[in-house]
A = this chain, B = another copy of it.
Amino acid sequence: MTEVPDVNRQVVLVARPDGIPAPEHFAIRETPVTVAGDGEMLVRNLFLSVDPAQRGYAADVNNYVPPVPIDGVMRGFALGNVVASRHPDYTVGARVMGMFGWQDVAVSDGSDVMFTVPDGDAPLSAYLGILGFSRITAFFGLLGVGKPAHGETVVVSTAAGSVGSAVGQIAKINGCRAVGITGGPEKVALCTEAFGYDAAVDYKADGLAEALAAACPDGVDVYFDNTGGAISDTVLAQMNIGGRIVVCGTAATSSWDPPPQGPRVERTIMIKRLRMQGFVIFDYRESFGEAQKHLADWLAAGDLSYREHVLDGIEHAPSAIQMLYQGQNMGKLTIRL
């Protein structure tokens, strides 16, 4: 696995999606493998990560990073081996996770490395999942922004997903009531049986407001919002005074151009003294090690459950983001190369 391949297969963006990126927006291109220059290294990707944020990367609207250019390699996290190095900090054989893009081989100057995978028994793919970015997102989003107190009720949307399932479990570890919102009876069962939620509700079924109220008899103190849209409108109406809303994702909205309309939130925010706060994990990069240590401890103690959904082969990449937004994955979605 540490050999440099002859050909670099790259998933490139060939058309600008208006909403969710779909197969027609991508092509797989074969290019020669580049040589690492001074201060650079070659990373042979083993797993590509599929993340909701990639919709934003592909869109030509205001975001926290510039859009992927047309004919550019799709931006995305990956996990790989260093197979050649002229970089002082990385030697051949090191395992790294970073923004290496959706391709077989990436040239990296180290600035796109998120962390080096430590030695240990955990399977490599866990570092895209339970010990990876989504879980770090859950950790800082919930504890750093949501700040739930012991005994409070935490509601999570996309509750069975990679971030959501970790939020629910971290909420439980911190003594909260955890309530998940997810789509379909299979995922509802996964939430309560595998991820330890106290209750889970199905947003695809009728009567979400009533189901949520029944699941949250003391109201909602913290809402970890991965969806926005109508689901979040429903949760907002059930927030307690002084509640906090961690805005982490907008999976429910398929296009932001033109901006979709919804009920105005300012009055609810005012009369309930809510705090609605946006969250982007990159702001916490200096503290990843701290989160990974906590997560590894909880994993070792048996407090964290984990599901992964692995697609075999780069040919699945063009449809993977759509699959994620349609909620067809059962756990953290990755592509094995």
**A273-B283 Cα distance, complex, nearest whole Å:** 9
Task: Point out the residues of chain B lying under 8 angstroms from A62, CB to CB.
Answer: 271
Please name the residue on chain B nearest to A252 by beta carbon.
B266
A263 and B266 in contact, given A273-B277, A273-B283, A280-B273 (Cβ under 8 angstroms): no
Please name the residue on chain B nearest to A264 by beta carbon.
B262
A277 and B269 in contact, given A260-B263, A262-B262, A264-B261 (Cβ under 8 angstroms): yes
**A282-B37 Cα distance, complex, nearest whole Å:** 63
Cross-chain contact B274 with A278 (CB below 8 angstroms): yes
Cross-chain contact B283 with A228 (CB below 8 angstroms): no
**A225-B268 Cα distance, complex, nearest whole Å:** 14
**A267-B53 Cα distance, complex, nearest whole Å:** 11
Shortest Cβ gap from A222 to chain B (Å): 14
Please name the residue on chain B nearest to A228 by beta carbon.
B266
A228 and B279 in contact, given A261-B261, A261-B262, A262-B261 (Cβ under 8 angstroms): no
What per-residue 1/0 map shows which CB atoms of A212-228 lie under 8 Å from chain B? 00000000000001001
Cross-chain contact A276 with B276 (CB below 8 angstroms): yes
**A1-B86 Cα distance, complex, nearest whole Å:** 88
Binds B, one of A73-81, A242-250, A326-334: A242-250
Cross-chain contact A279 with B270 (CB below 8 angstroms): yes
Shortest Cβ gap from A19 to chain B (Å): 13
Q: Does A265 contact B (CB under 8 A)?
A: yes
Q: Does A69 contact B (CB under 8 A)?
A: no
Task: Point out the residues of chain B lying under 8 angstroms from A64, CB to CB.
Answer: 241, 271-272
Q: Does A111 contact B (CB under 8 A)?
A: no
Task: Point out the residues of chain B lying under 8 angstroms from A280, CB to CB.
Answer: 270-271, 273
Shortest Cβ gap from A242 to chain B (Å): 9
| Residue with the highest number of chain B CB atoms closer than 10 Å, among A241, A263, A265, A275 | A265
**A283-B274 Cα distance, complex, nearest whole Å:** 13
Cross-chain contact A277 with B275 (CB below 8 angstroms): yes
Please name the residue on chain B nearest to A276 by beta carbon.
B276
Q: Does A259 contact B (CB under 8 A)?
A: yes
Please name the residue on chain B nearest to A246 by beta carbon.
B270
**A270-B260 Cα distance, complex, nearest whole Å:** 15
Q: Does A93 contact B (CB under 8 A)?
A: no
A256 and B267 in contact, given A273-B279, A276-B276, A283-B273 (Cβ under 8 angstroms): yes
Shortest Cβ gap from A188 to chain B (Å): 24
Q: Does A85 contact B (CB under 8 A)?
A: no
Cross-chain contact A247 with B264 (CB below 8 angstroms): no
Q: Does A240 contact B (CB under 8 A)?
A: no
Q: Does A134 contact B (CB under 8 A)?
A: no
Chain A 268-302 residues near chain B, CB threshold 8 A:
268-280, 283
Taking Cβ atoms with an 8 Å cutoff, the residues of A that contact B are 56, 62-64, 225, 228-229, 232, 241, 247-250, 253, 256, 259-280, 283
The 4 lowest CB-CB distance pairs between A and B, nearest first, are A228-B266, A259-B263, A270-B278, A269-B278
- Beyond A261-B262, A274-B278, 6 extra complex contacts between A and B, CB < 8 Å: A56-B271, A64-B271, A229-B264, A261-B263, A265-B265, A269-B277
